[in-house]
Chains A and B, each alone.
Chain A
Amino acid sequence: MLNDTYLTLAGILLLAAGTYGFRYAGPRLGKQVWLTAARQQMFSDASLLLLFSVAVLATVYESGEYAGHARLAGIVVAVILCLARAPFLAVITLAAGATALLRLLGVQ
């Protein structure tokens, strides 16, 4: 059992160290000379695309399963409000409100 704890601790430290490595490497990489303006633009675009696909995945799935209509509807509300240039807080609270309301009405 104690052995298990050490293994788990090792896993945590590995994850933490590796994650910090990614975080540390990025800015250093970005300051290199070979990184032309076009390549830097590509990294910025890549970051935006990654964040967007993370958002969509977090909308559609919950631990590997479909997350349900209510959450999807909340994000549709967020997208519409966002395109209508609603203020940030309005977008977030109304999206959560829409999902909560739908769940209250029995939609999952």
Chain B
Amino acid sequence: MFRGVLLLHRRRILLPILFVCLADGLVGVSYGASAVSSGFELWLPLSLSILVLAGASEFIFIAILSGGGSPFAGAFAGLLVNSRHLPFGVSIRQTIPDGMRGVLACHLMNDESVAFALAHKNRRLSHYAFWFCGFGILLLWPLGVLLGGLIGSSIEDPAQFGLDVMFPAVLVALTLPALKQQKLLIPASFGAAAAVIAAPFAVAGLAPLAGLLGLCVRKSGIEEKTHAE
């Protein structure tokens, strides 16, 4: 555990992880505050943040509820959003141990922790990055929601400080080098363009999956791309 912290620190990943967790915590504060101020009781966003622990799907669930939709429609849309965890799990399987620790590790899977894991080829580095980011978000995301719900609407608009750019910027900064290295920039751009075009028409929660269309223009030659540890 301590060795992991040291390794992450030496490779200059510890601070980025802490920063990302903190930024997520702040987003949690504004999410908790806005959920409560739009009429939901605090237990709702709080239990979502602990049990679901995947921001995008929680937002869509709450948005559908506040639009008068049924909780089951909300859950369905949220599940469409979260279906991406399936390929995530396949690609980071080496980081998920068997047994009880694996049961917890699965819950730590989210966009950020997976992006950190995929950004590093070294297996140990990728392992520790996943666990620390996952744990940090497990702690700070619900804590942020709780704080936001208690403080309520008295907090300032986080967009003023550009906080809303953090999440996409983090994902871009973590995936771009890997995409470039794996020669996936063109498929990724194609997929993202498809997702942006599809978003206004797609069923709630479906749009990100359109990014998979990029796989169609991917060169399947894996010889040079196969991971060397």
Q: Which of A38, A40, A88 has the most CB of B within 10 A?
A: A88
Q: What size tier do the contact residues of chain A reach?
A: 35 or more
**From residue B106, how far is it (CB to closest CB) to chain A in Å?**
4
Contacts of B23 in A (CB 8 A): 92
Q: Is A106 an interface residue (CB 8 A)?
A: no
Min CB distance B130 to A, Å, is: 12
Query: Nearest Cβ in chain B — how far from A13, in angstroms?
Result: 7
- The docked-state distance in angstroms from the alpha carbon of A89 to that of B71 is 38
Within 8 A of B (CB), among A3-24: 7-8, 10-16, 18-20, 22-24
Which A residues touch B220, using CB under 8 A?
Answer: 38, 42
Query: Does B151 touch A at the CB level, under 8 Å?
Result: no
* Residue in contact with A40 in the complex, picked from B65, B91, B176, CB distance below 8 Å: B91
Tell which of A47, A61, A92 touches B166, judged by Cβ atoms closer than 8 Å. Answer: A92
Residues of A close to B78: CB separation below 8 A: 15, 18-19
Q: Which residues does chain B contribute within 8 Å of A97, judged by CB atoms? A: 162
Q: How large is the interface on B (under 10, 10 to 19, 20 to 34, 35 or more residues)?
A: 35 or more
Distance of A68 from chain B, by nearest CB (Å): 9
The verdict on A26 contacting B162 (CB below 8 Å), with A49-B184, A49-B188, A92-B173 known, is: no
B61 to chain A, nearest CB (A): 6
Contact B175 A55, beta carbon cutoff 8 Å: yes
Q: How far is the CA of A8 from the CA of B225 in the complex (A)?
A: 46
> Digit string of A15-46 for contact with B (CB within 8 Å is 1, else 0)?
11011101111111111000101101111111
Query: Do A53 and B19 touch across chains, with their CB atoms under 8 A apart?
Result: no
Q: In the complex the two chains form, is A96's CB within 8 Å of B165's CB?
A: yes
Q: Which of B19, B52, B168 contacts A75 (CB 8 A)?
A: B168
* Residue from A38, A43, A79, A92 having most chain B Cβ neighbours under 10 A: A92
Q: Which of A29, A38, A49, A88 has the most CB of B within 10 A?
A: A49
Contact B79 A19 (CB under 8 A): yes
Residues of B within 8 A of A44 (CB): 90-91, 118
B-contact bits for A59-89, CB 8 A (1 contact / 0 none):
1111110010011001100110011000111
- B20, B187, B200: the one within 8 Å of A49 (CB): B187
Per the 8 Å Cβ criterion, residues 67-86 of B in contact with A are: 70-72, 74-75, 78-79, 82-86
A22 close to B169 (CB less than 8 A)? no
Chain A residues whose C-beta falls within 8 Å of the C-beta of B171 in the assembled complex: 51-52, 54-55, 58
Q: Are B167 and A58 in contact (CB under 8 A)?
A: yes
| B-side contacts of A15, CB under 8 Å | 48, 51-52, 57, 61, 74-75, 78-79, 82
Q: Check if B195 sits within 8 Å of A56, measured CB to CB.
A: yes
Q: Is B122 an interface residue (CB 8 A)?
A: no
Minimum CB distance partner of A97 in chain B: B162
Whether B39 sits at the interface, judged by CB under 8 Å, is: no
Are B16 and A48 closer than 8 Å at their CB atoms?
A: no
25 interchain pairs, CB-CB under 8 A = A11-B75, A12-B52, A15-B48, A26-B93, A27-B96, A30-B91, A41-B222, A47-B87, A47-B118, A48-B182, A49-B191, A51-B174, A52-B176, A52-B188, A52-B211, A55-B171, A55-B192, A56-B195, A59-B168, A79-B176, A82-B177, A83-B180, A88-B12, A95-B169, A100-B161
